[in-house]
Amino acid sequence: MAGFRDFLTRFRPAATPGRAAPGGVPADRSAVFAAELVPPLALLDQAEAEARSIRERAARAAEEKRREAEARAEHIVAAAHADARLVRAESADRTVHEAESEAADLRDRAIHEVAAVRERATARMPLLIDRVAALTAEELTPLREPSSTTSTGTSREGPP
């Protein structure tokens, strides 16, 4: 980088118009400016190369993280599928167990109801047998007696 003295020489006045003076020829300012800019531009090129390197490393790291995330996601999905099979099996077992338990309860209730019906039937059977016997005897009684007519001329036979 140019020093302070070099900076001030840029503003050195040229000679007055007229005869030629030994140092009065204007300097090539574009060459001076270009010479001043070479070191900062070189630093800029170096910074740009470093930035490019950082971007490339970041892109590689991002790609690696993406691959790792995909592998992790595949592993999680596979584990979820395996867990889903286990959950379905457990659910099916639980449902079968509940259905079997309900069927056993229904069977037990049915057995108790059958026993209750049998007890009622056993308790009522003598009364019903007596009643049927009485009704049968009542129906058969007119058949045992001889036909006789009464003074009104009607027969004592039962209905046809």
On the CB side of 160, CA atoms within 13 Å amount to 0
- The mean pLDDT of 76-88, rounded to a whole number, is 93
In a domain, 132, yes or no: yes
In a domain, 38, yes or no: yes
In a domain, 79, yes or no: yes
Provide the whole-model pTM: 0.38
Query: What domain range is 114 assigned to?
Result: 30-140
As for how many domains the chain has, the answer is: 1
CA distance 127 to 131: 6
What does the chain come to in residues? Answer: 160
Q: Which of 41-50, 103-112, 148-157 has the lowest mean pLDDT?
A: 148-157
In a domain, 81, yes or no: yes
Give the model's pLDDT for residue 160. 45
For 22-66, how does the pLDDT look when each residue is reduced to its tens digit (9 = 90+)?
554 556 677 777 778 888 888 888 899 999 999 999 999 999 999
141, 156 in Cβ contact below 8 A?
no
70, 32 in Cβ contact below 8 A?
no
In a domain, 23, yes or no: no
